[in-house]
Structure 1
Amino acid sequence: MRGAVSDGTATRRRDFFGLLLLLSCVMIWGANAVAFKVGTHPATGVGFDPVLMNGLRFLLVAPLLLVFIAVRDPSALRVPNRADLVRFAIYGLFSIVISETLLTVALTYTSVANMTLLGPGTMPLFTALWAAVLDKQKLSRAGVVGALVAMAGVGIVAGAGGNLHLSGTSLIGDGISLARSVVQGLYMIYLNRSLRANNPFTVTIYNVLFGTLWFLPYVAWKAPSFAWGDVSWQVWAALGWTVLPTSVYGFLVWNTVMPRVGPVAATNVFYLLPLFGALSAWVVLGEPLTFAQMTGGAVIIAGLIVLRWETLVAAGIVPGRRQIIGE
């Protein structure tokens, strides 16, 4: 019957609201860069080294997630297939330990601007390429154009501070940042498969538990000699941000919603990560927010609109022709 909204349109409308939830995660994760800056390089007192901060973060995240899931869905703590435990251990190693460590190492060689461009700026594209190779998903013309526009916006935001450059030393960090994006894109494809085959709570808790176990030796080595009494409340607050909104909320929401919208659509919102990072630094640290950064943000949003145009039409956000049953 004409006038009835098709199942495809209803699905896209759900996808739009799912993308809003994923957007909330990326907003929080953008502020996470500021939290790490405060936690590792505080104005007063002693800061954590980046690996120790991540280790402490997950030592706190793991029990909180465990209690939440045990109350909300106890069945999620049971793993029917022991082979999945090996998979979760590998996921925890790559997504939590290696990913976070590579980020830290990259920043010792290159600028935040370069890392931003080659990290969040390329990871969605690599996810789409992996999806095309492994899941046989087609790259649409709108997808390619939207991705290029969004990447250009990321480049504008990253270069707004004047620190975007290529040199002999920075090429090491640039290569690490790019390699991290390739691995993260591949991880998103396999994570999505696991989330579709298992309870998202199961995947989330065991990834975090194994990631925490991988960090444990380093924390046990560094903690006894650390000057805990010299840690300011600002550093503890920064650690708290990385624990509750960044990890507990972020992981649960992301892993629940991503299987519904797909890894490619989900990672598209990562293009906005540099913009949210700049906004957070402006609010929290008082760093200047330049016209170039705002312009880059507008370009990113334009690219995302092109990428997700059909979803926006189905949700009634922008005008367009919707699918009709019986046409």
Structure 2
Amino acid sequence: MSNSRIWILTLFTMLVAGLNFPLGKISLSYGSTFVLLGIRFVGAGLLMLPFIWGRPHPRSAASWLKLAVIGLFQSTLVMGLNYLSMRTISSGSASILSSSNPIWFIVFSFLLFKTRYRSMQWAGVVIGFAGVAMTQGFAVEMQSGFWLSLGAGMAWGMATLLTSRWGKEFDTWVMAAYQMLIGGVILFILGPFVEHSSLIWDAANPFKELFVLGWMILISSIAQFVAWYYVLSNSDPNKANVYLFLIPLFGVLSGWLILKEPLHWYTMAGAVIIGIGIYLVNRPAGERSRAVSVAKGA
């Protein structure tokens, strides 16, 4: 796939991920977190089954286990912790903390696979994360939700790392479908132990609920995951990963448009800083300073 198409798919994924915050905020009024997310992922997985039936499936128990682990981190932990965190912190703070993903990606890559990174890449990640914080005026709320959302960022970093290393073993559509299906089932199982399970149907305004639910299943789940997994499997995950810094920016802008949330000057300033971080991470390395992976394979 050409670089321009990779870039378009990456930008699409970041835009959808940003829109997920205000729409997710709306969806929370329709039921408990794990029930809504379970419906989202199981529904998306089941809808995809007819389309992936004839595509290559995993043939070994080890491969199915890898899919289950990806589903646990990507669909269950990332989304479950993120949505739970918004009980006590704002969606803006949740987007900042969960977007620490690239930092955790590099940390886990270094610790687990001994991957070496250039100092410029480390600097770009730190500057990019500073830009993310800047988009919210550095106002991060230190409550229980802080740790839940930070945990979501860690889980997202691990999910991205595992997907980048294992993803080439799977058909993109098959991986997206089964990881969501498995993650959704785990959410349904854990739901009663975490919160009071509930689902509210507003008969007076069903179209709004159907739109939000349809967006969560078709766009936020199927389209977003397929596009992101394709990007990770067909490009440098280190470079693709840094674009996750755009998620809070898109989240703030979509919150302003959809929920009429205030838009501040420091959001635009943060966008400039994010751009600098992205440039540093994607800046070509010289012959003496290329990132070298010591451990190859899964």
Partner of 1:79: 58
Percentage identity across paired residues of the two chains = 22
Task: Tell me: CA distance 1:180–1:222, structure 2 relative to 1, closer, same or farther (3 Å).
Answer: closer
Question: Is residue 150 of structure 2 the alignment partner of residue 178 of structure 1?
Answer: yes
Task: Tell me: CA distance 1:117–1:213, structure 2 relative to 1, closer, same or farther (3 Å).
Answer: closer
Q: Aligned partner of 1:115: which letter?
A: A
Question: Is residue 67 of structure 2 the alignment partner of residue 88 of structure 1?
Answer: yes
Partner of 1:322: none
Q: Distance in 2 between matches of 1:49 and 1:202?
A: 28
Shift of 1:124: 0.5
Residue from 223, 226, 235 that aligns with 1:252: 226
Residue from 28, 32, 40 that aligns with 2:20: 32
Question: Is residue 19 of structure 2 the alignment partner of residue 49 of structure 1?
Answer: no
Deviation digits for residues 203-250 of structure 1, max 9, x if unmatched? 222212212322345789956x74463553222211211111211111
Deviation digits for residues 34-84 of structure 1, max 9, x if unmatched? 11112223xxxxx222222212212321122212323xxx132x3211222
Deviation digits for residues 259-304 of structure 1, max 9, x if unmatched? 2223322221110100000111122222222211111112111211
Calculate the TM-score normalised by the size of structure 2: 0.84
Q: Distance in 1 between matches of 2:200 and 2:131?
A: 41
Secondary structure at 1:109's aligned position in 2? coil
Q: Distance in 1 between matches of 2:98 and 2:12?
A: 19
Question: Is residue 235 of structure 2 the alignment partner of residue 261 of structure 1?
Answer: yes
Question: Is residue 48 of structure 2 the alignment partner of residue 65 of structure 1?
Answer: yes
Residue from 138, 143, 149 that aligns with 2:116: 138
Q: Distance in 1 between matches of 2:130 and 2:10?
A: 22
Q: Distance in 2 between matches of 1:188 and 1:194?
A: 10
Q: Is the 8 A contact 1:52 1:219 kept in 2?
A: yes
Partner of 2:97: 118
Q: Aligned partner of 1:96: which letter?
A: S
Partner of 1:318: none
Shift of 1:14: 4.1
Range with greater deviation from structure 2 (14-23 or 58-67): 14-23
Q: Distance in 1 between matches of 2:191 and 2:91?
A: 26
Q: How do residues 1-327 of structure 1 correspond to structure 2 at under 5 angstroms?
A: 14-15=2-3, 17-41=5-29, 47-70=30-53, 74-76=54-56, 78-120=57-99, 122-159=100-137, 163-166=139-142, 170=143, 172-217=144-189, 222=197, 226-227=200-201, 229=203, 232-310=206-284
Unaligned runs of 5+ in 2: 286-298
Task: Tell me: CA distance 1:226–1:246, structure 2 relative to 1, closer, same or farther (3 Å).
Answer: closer
Larger radius of gyration between Structure 1 and Structure 2? 1
Q: Aligned partner of 1:135: which letter?
A: F
Q: Distance in 2 between matches of 1:304 and 1:217?
A: 39
Calculate the TM-score normalised by the size of structure 1: 0.77
Task: Tell me: CA distance 1:24–1:106, structure 2 relative to 1, closer, same or farther (3 Å).
Answer: same
Unaligned runs of 5+ in 1: 1-12, 42-46, 312-327
Shift of 1:310: 2.7
Q: Aligned partner of 2:80: which letter?
A: T
Q: Aligned partner of 1:187: which letter?
A: A
Range with greater deviation from structure 2 (208-217 or 143-152): 208-217
